[in-house]
């Protein structure tokens, strides 16, 4: 029997049902392979183990030919396969537990595999959005907020802009079709921010003395 760990959500990816005037424009999650490459440094792991295997196989070949190369290289090849398996498993879990949401009023991020956190960023609190686009079409949209709002790098990782530890910037990490999503976000934010804010204030109580007519 399948089980949805987030079945308690009234709307997928959101902690509560949005107001009637707010509409969901897009929802997505990180691309698993892109997340493994960028956040978990899969390419670096592959390069490291490839060098180790070639080195050990070369040493074995010098001592005992092909049989020595196989015997010396096999243990490190198995370690390589295990490391890649762990990284891919982590990326799968992280991607499956993530939901990015863009509405007509905000960006919401449900993140965290072990400790789930939902981050709400109203467009009026977003100062800038930066797109880091890859040739494959995947990319990261990082958000810079107004004011003194601070985010924990450890809580947000890997859903934050790489390399920005002192000032952590939430990010829609490794999303497919990132250019289209970035444009959708920009258009929605511009439309929202351009709307006038109407504040309702109670009418002041009457002051002074009342003079009765004769």
Q: Which one, of 21, 5, 29, lies nearest residue 178 by Cα?
A: 29
pTM for the full predicted model? 0.83
| First vs last C-alpha separation in the chain | 85
**How much is the average pLDDT of 124-147?**
91
Q: Encode pLDDT of 142-190 as tens digits.
A: 999 887 678 888 889 999 998 888 889 999 999 999 999 999 999 999 9
Q: Encode pLDDT of 59-90 as tens digits.
A: 999 888 888 889 999 999 999 999 999 999 99
Residue 2 has pLDDT above 50, yes or no: no
Contact 100, 112 (CB under 8 A): no
Burial class (CB in 10 A: 0-12, 13-18, 19+), 88: middle
Residue 206 has pLDDT above 70, yes or no: no
Higher pLDDT: 91 or 196? It is: 91
| Share above pLDDT 90 across residues of the chain, in percent, rounded to a whole number | 60
Given pLDDT bands bounded at 50, 70 and 90, which one contains residue 116? confident
Q: What is the pLDDT of residue 101?
A: 96
**How much is the average pLDDT of 32-42?**
96
Residue 211 has pLDDT above 60, yes or no: no
Contact 72, 66 (CB under 8 A): no
135 CB-near residues (< 8 Å, 6+ apart): none
Q: Encode pLDDT of 12-25 as tens digits.
A: 888 888 888 899 99
**How much is the average pLDDT of 198-205?**
56
Q: Which one, of 176, 152, 175, lies nearest residue 164 by Cα?
A: 152
* Rounded Cα–Cα distance for residues 22 and 147 (Å): 24
Count of alpha carbons within 13 Å of 179, Cβ hemisphere only?
5
Spell out a b/e string for 134-154, using b for 16 or more CB atoms within 10 Å of the CB, else e: eeeebbbbbbebeeeeebeee
Contact 103, 22 (CB under 8 A): yes
């Amino acid at each position: 029997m399948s089980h949805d760990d987030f079945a308690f959500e009234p709307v997928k990816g959101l902690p509560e049902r949005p107001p009637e005037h707010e509409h969901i424009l897009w929802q997505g999650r990180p691309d698993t392979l892109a997340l493994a490459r960028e956040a978990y440094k899969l390419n670096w792991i592959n390069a490291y183990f490839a060098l180790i295997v070639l080195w050990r196989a070369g040493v074995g070949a010098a001592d005992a030919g092909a049989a020595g190369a196989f015997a010396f290289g096999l243990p490190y090849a198995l370690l390589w396969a295990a490391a890649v398996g762990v990284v891919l498993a982590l990326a799968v879990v992280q991607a499956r537990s993530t939901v990015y949401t863009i509405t007509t009023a905000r960006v919401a991020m449900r993140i965290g595999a072990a400790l789930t956190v939902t981050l709400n960023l109203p467009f009026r609190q977003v100062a800038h959005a930066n797109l880091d686009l890859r040739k494959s079409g995947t990319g990261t949209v990082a958000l810079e907020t107004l004011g003194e709002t601070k985010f924990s790098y450890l809580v947000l990782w890997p859903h934050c802009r790489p390399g920005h530890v002192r000032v952590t910037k939430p990010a829609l990490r490794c999303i497919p079709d990132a250019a289209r999503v970035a444009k959708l976000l920009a258009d929605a934010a511009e439309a929202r921010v351009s709307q006038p804010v109407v504040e309702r204030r109670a009418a002041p109580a009457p002051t002074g003395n009342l003079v009765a007519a004769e």
